[in-house]
Structure 1
Amino acid sequence: MSRGIDYGSLMHNAMRSLICTVLQQIADEGLPGSHHFFITFDTRHPETEIADWLRDRYPEEMTIVIQHWFDDLEVTEDGFSITLNFGDNPEHLVIPFDAITTFVDPSVEFGLRFETQSYEDDEEDDEDEGEAEPRPEAEVVSLDKFRK
């Protein structure tokens, strides 16, 4: 018996696919014009890989800017890796798409926000034989907080 169409999950997947496509285009061709991105992600996600000193400084979430200098941008279907400069210290980061909470390109007033999820209870969820929790819903984000 069908429980209906899970539009929230479908939208979530579509928006993550959009981010994947945009980042792959940037990896292939570079940033066009004045485009740049603010990407906020959950540093607690189990597949996020960042330097220990960054995790200590940003124990829950971190916002990166992809604009003037970045290197080694590689995109997979599950996430992306990139090297960014933090005070003249290049650091390699691996960010799964599921860890992203906001993606904003202020140059064209475009933004997405994803509801956060808890990773602390994942082990308990794996032991349950019941149904998996639905993925968090996604929505368009207001750009007001990124305006200068």
Structure 2
Amino acid sequence: MTRRIEYGHLMHNAMRSLIRTVLTDVAESGLPGEHHFFITIDTQHPEVQIADWLRQRYPEEITVVMQHWFDNLEVREDSFSVTLNFGDMPEPLFIPFDSIITFVDPSVEFGLRFEGHSDEDEDLDDDLEEAPMLEEVEPAPDGPAEVVSLDSFRK
């Protein structure tokens, strides 16, 4: 077996750490300014704890908003809990960080999306291992840099 650097796993850990840091600050000091969060959660994750009626209404995923009213925000190493208001019904939620699909703060146009690992991703990894390496990269002459989407290299 060949040892590999798992960049995807490392990046997800770094992104979860960023969310943990932000939520810890909010738990201690409240939401600053116009900041607010849209957090999409995988409701099928085995450790997610939400009311049965929420799970029935949102069997795959739910997007919750932390903005004007939230209570009891408690942040742990691998999860957080918070009470949110759903139509004047306060509901406690327990959310593991690895159940988060997206984390967005639209007030500053910031967002994170966690991609799942599928067979297609594994095929891409295999293709990258077999791809020839570029020996030299020429800098662009004059003008703006070109942004290339990695999706254009997928099969």
After TM superposition, is the score higher than 0.5?
A: yes
Report which of the two structures shows the higher radius of gyration computed on alpha carbons. 2
Deviation at 1:2, TM superposition (A): 4.9
Greater RCO, 1 or 2 (C-alpha within 8 Å, sep 6+):
1
**Aligned positions, number:** 118
Mapped partners of 2:56, 2:115: distance in 1: 23
Equivalent position SS for 1:83? strand
Mapped partners of 2:25, 2:66: distance in 1: 13
User: Which residue is 2:73 aligned to?
Assistant: 73
Q: Please give the per-residue CA displacement for 1:77-130, whole angstroms capped at 9, x wherever unaligned.
A: 111000001111000000000000000000111000002469xxxxxxxxxxxx
Deviation at 1:5, TM superposition (A): 1.1
Gaps of 5+ in 2: 119-155
- 1:87 alignment partner AA: G
Could you list the structure 1 runs, at least 4 aligned residues long, displaced by more than 3 angstroms after superposition: none
Matched, 1:91 2:91: yes
Equivalent position SS for 1:56? helix
Equivalent position SS for 2:49? coil
User: Which residue is 1:130 aligned to?
Assistant: none
Mapped partners of 2:96, 2:114: distance in 1: 13
User: Which residue is 1:104 aligned to?
Assistant: 104
- 1:92 alignment partner AA: P
User: Which residue is 2:38 aligned to?
Assistant: 38
Q: Please give the per-residue CA displacement for 1:5-61, whole angstroms capped at 9, x wherever unaligned.
A: 111111110000000000000000000000000000000101000000000000000
Gaps of 5+ in 1: 119-148
User: Which residue is 2:122 aligned to?
Assistant: none
Mapped partners of 1:75, 1:105: distance in 2: 18
Mapped partners of 1:117, 1:60: distance in 2: 17
Mapped partners of 2:52, 2:114: distance in 1: 25
The percent of aligned pairs where both chains have the same amino acid is: 75
Give the TM-score normalised by structure 1. Answer: 0.77
Give the TM-score normalised by structure 2. Answer: 0.73
Mapped partners of 2:2, 2:27: distance in 1: 40
